[in-house]
Structure 1
């Protein structure tokens, strides 16, 4: 499948790994993939995200707040306020105590979570559906939008994104890429 990735899609995957490493996370989540799409090459997906005022500076803290895959909404449903837990922990142990700050950056390969793998697999399906021979970072954005309960989905919601509007923008970008 990766042989079908365009340079911007490959760069997004490499950047996702760098983001996970920078955040000292031990897995690459769909949120890291979302950050990766905002990488330096600026393909269709990156343009679509930036058109909705999404930047690494906005999204990185939202992705970093994922604590070992804990879903703040699911925890709230059972009466646990993750933000209150975070504040209490940081008051006792210092800023970033729940962000893996005590862990060393992981050398070598960092595995992908199931949702991150699913997003990359779905990007192939999106490309095929649109009869594209290659997979761009725009296809990756469309795939991430298909996983609303993932780390990327939560980050997009927290960033105030209208998923339908982002989908329209990404579709426009992949069918008429900038020259």
Structure 2
């Protein structure tokens, strides 16, 4: 039997990027931190995000039928913590508009999607997003490894 602690410990050795998923619901921007973002297909261009079935963001993405992904830079750890509920501050977040979608200002990349499909998978719902727009800039990504944030120090910016 696999226990929760061992599962997290082993899979924590997989390095991931850090992103904030955003959508608009009832005329308000909502967001959550997600490190389970991956490319799925080139034709059509599809990505996958994963949302816990207990997360308030789940109903919002379902209702809006779209979402944006902001891939965070190494300078945006505080924003990741904010959208993960790890910071109890009342600070407001200023969003940029990207092709009609709300995104995190100064992120490394933006991906705007309409929901292509959604599937229950254990205690999460997996959303396939059909990519409608994307954009990227150079910079260093915020990464997550063994339950902690890190930044790549030896990476040269290209692009």
Q: Confirm or deny a common fold (TM above 0.5).
A: no
Rg larger in structure: 1
Q: Which is helix-richer, 1 or 2?
A: 1
* TM-score normalised per structure 2: 0.26
Choose between structure 1 and 2 for higher RCO, CA contacts under 8 A separated by at least 6 residues.
1
More strand by share: 2
